[in-house]
Chains A and B, each alone.
Chain A
Amino acid sequence: MLNRTIQPDLKTVDKIDFVNPTIYDITSDVKLFFMKDVPNETTRFDLYFDAGNIRGKKGIPTFASSLLLSGTNEKSSTQINNEIDALGGFMESGLSAETSCITMYCLRENMLPLLHVLTNAIDNVAFLEREVTELLADKKQAFLMNMEKVSYLAQRAFQQRLFNSSEIYSSIATPDFYENVEIETLKKFFKNNYQNGLTKVVVVGNLDQDTIDETIDTLGKWVKKGTCEFEKNIKNLPGQIHIQKENAVQTAIRMGKILFNKTHEDYNDFMVLNTILGDYFGSRLMSNIREDKGYTYGIGSMVAEYNHVGYFMIATEVGKEVKDATLTEIKIEIEKLQTELIEVEELDLIRNYLLGQLLKSADGPYSMMDLYLSAETHGLNFDFYNKAIKDLHTITPERIRDLAIKHLVWDEMTIVSAG
């Protein structure tokens, strides 16, 4: 007779077979990372530029990124979009504080034609007045809509106070961004940060050597000369503020502090602590605030990484009447981690869970490449994950408690609520 109360025997991940990408030097500073082992027709390529939000003022990086395919003196934006669609390309552009990235998904037979359409359109972008005006109106509308969301209001005030000591990192969009933009400023930014700003190229797909060679030839003209400088010392402004939003039925909470990234010796173990607190479905915060109290649909904690720094954040949307109760419970959960040792069963569970998730993050060529890139950005490689596996097997309850005491100091937190 089947005993349904007993869990089947478990095995733990002890080793993951990481597959390194092939690395080509476009120049000594700018590399192309290539993952060939794709068992189907799909391809992806990413172009990274030193054109993140910190590189310009008053929304210039955002506008430049959005206008890359807005037309040349020969071709309208609609013609360019037609060409991309006729080749089955799905393009995404991503902009973060420190980088701008263009990603194209397509079938491998269309990879080079798409690369040429894209580079031609970008290289000759004319920043036509009509396109710029249209974009400003669209962005303004999107901005006004975002300002209706408590999550956006909280996030933006949080960013301001989190990066408090750096003017450029703490800069957030304001309505005047959308009133007027100097086309010459856009052009100058484009020339410096795109046409002379390529910092990295990534290609995933079952492509031959000629294709890679041609990719390097095509993109060589854009490479950035010299290294990129990023902020190393940033301090957040501790303390709590509330942003009033009439008629909101929920309150958004964002709280956290400046921390570190993968290069810090506490990183791996802190990620275990972060998972326990708020980074999986069974986390302390989810168990207490969602599954026990029912205050929210979701609550989570995370670590975000920049080139030289990182930050820790807890984010949630809760019923407006339980904002203070939620903050109290978050505080209680952090204090528990600082005063009580985690039980062996819970730590085992976290270890097994994280190992399983790492295995999943290395499943397939696309995931494998992303995992690699996430280390490469910090000058690391797959050795980082091999060490992480080792650290997971040796971490102790005492170490977790000590890290909570060291890094989760309530009085150091920036706390923002909006609702």
Chain B
Amino acid sequence: MIEFEKFKLDNGLTVIFHKDITTPMAVVNTLYDVGARDESEEKTGFAHLFEHLMFGGSVNIPDFDAPLQNAGGESNAFTSNDITNYYDVLPNYNLETALWLESDRMLSLGFTPKSLEVQRNVVIEEFKQRYLNQPYGDVWLELRPLAYEEHPYKWATIGKEISHIEEATMDDVKAFFQKHYNPSNAILCVAGNFELEYIKEVVTKWYGDIPSGKKPARILPLEPEQTKFKEKTIERDVPTDAFYYAFKMPERRDPSYYIVDVLSDALGREKSSRLYVSLKKEKQIVSNIIAYITGSIDHGLLVISGKLNNGKTFEELDIALWEVLDELKKNKMSDEELARLMIKIRTEKEFSEQGLLNRAMNLCTFELLGDANGINQEAEIYHAITPDHLLEMSKYILMKTNCTLLKVKSTQDAK
């Protein structure tokens, strides 16, 4: 059970306080309810570029990192298709420095031309390093627009193409800040060995006078229901053929989201999973295979991906893979198998809640989904899942008409 207190400032900022008396550290986690899904199709990669600019100095403080490092702390951030999340970890007696820095960049940024110019370059190098200069690095740049027709999940957080980042202007950047970075669009979590009264006092002190702004309405294009199988083959200079089967799944707030999560575990999480045992150990068609879900807030994907063994074909793979999926859809899972999946989920959750930062981040994420206390209800939701649920859900999700397949064909000679 993770204890927390929640309060709201007059300007709309939601604040969660999580007390932990065992740690000398403090965490300040700020979740902004903006991600790549909020970008326009002509200006993708913005939420992420903006995350970089948030470290380029704020209205009253020219440098973000140095004062935090001086306080013994460090900071980082990440952007997803759904959210942008910033965190600071520092010794607890220097908490106010993190609040000072975070509140000032919520108030306004420095918007220096130099910062924009440099971060554009840094992001372009990031684009190259992670997506272009790695074998199979561009797979998600191909898979997303294949799987999604309308929803902005059809582009990756890094952006559709480098030119969108190259062409970002200061006006674009300022407009993005105005729209998305204000107290009513943020959730703050402070965690550490503090008293609630103290947290209320210092958070009000630093954040209380930030103008509230308006929570932007989110009206995203609806993804039409997929009715037919989609498939694409790309050729790349990679050593091995690779495959990505993607199935549309329910959104994060739907209780059946968790059922699909367990399905993906059954298929390909561990070396005891069905696809691993059948396709790798028994039939030796693949060298590796995994299944996972994207964890998206809107309709996400259950993905099965892996690489073919030398001399094996996509056709052999396809037949063997659908046999495993069909078996899951035909016969109820044994209690023993379900128990095996559940103990892993329980163990993983215990470990993930070990860390103060993880707890703070998860509290913010659950608050965004509707209620921070969701963090304490998750275990029960998993526990209530039965073989019948899994059977029903697999029939609904693991259909050919709900599937998008991306094949990466190696252009290298067999070695």
Q: Spell out A's residues near B (CB within 8 Å).
A: 2, 4-5, 7-13, 39-42, 76-78, 81-82, 84-90, 105-107, 110, 134, 137-138, 141, 144-145, 147-150, 175, 247-250, 280-282, 290-297, 317-319, 348-350, 352-353, 355-357, 359-360, 363-364, 366
Contact = CB atoms under 8 A, between A and B. Distances in A.
Interface of B: 22-25, 59-61, 65-67, 69-75, 89-91, 93-94, 96-97, 99-100, 103-104, 107, 117-122, 125-126, 128-130, 132-135, 205-206, 209, 237-240, 270-272, 277, 281, 284, 287-288, 307, 309-310, 336, 339-340, 343-344, 346-348, 350-351, 353-356, 415
A291 B121 CA distance: 9
A280 B25 CA distance: 19
Contacts of A134: 284
B23 A319 contact: no
A353 B59 CA distance: 24
B350 A282 contact: no
B282 to A, nearest CB: 9
Contact of B69 (A137, A282, A290): A282
A4 B100 contact: yes
B73 A356 contact: yes
Given A145-B239, A282-B69, 19 more contacts: A7-B70, A7-B71, A9-B96, A11-B93, A11-B94, A85-B343, A86-B336, A105-B351, A141-B307, A149-B133, A150-B133, A175-B415, A291-B122, A296-B125, A352-B71, A353-B69, A355-B72, A360-B89, A364-B354
A87 B125 contact: no
B347 A107 contact: yes
Contacts of B270: 81, 85
A90 B269 CA distance: 11
B157 to A, nearest CB: 14
A145 B205 contact: no
Nearest to B117: A294
Nearest to A348: B70
Given A7-B97, A107-B350, A297 B122 contact: yes
Contacts of A42: 347, 350-351, 354
Contact of B343 (A13, A86, A105, A357): A86
Chain A at the B interface: SS class = mixed
Contact of B71 (A10, A88, A364): A10
25 contacts: A2-B205, A4-B60, A4-B103, A8-B96, A10-B70, A13-B91, A41-B350, A78-B277, A89-B347, A105-B351, A107-B343, A137-B287, A138-B287, A148-B134, A148-B239, A280-B69, A294-B118, A295-B125, A319-B125, A356-B69, A356-B72, A356-B91, A359-B91, A364-B22, A364-B354
Contact of A86 (B60, B134, B277, B340): B340
A297 B271 CA distance: 35
Contact of B23 (A11, A147, A363, A366): A363
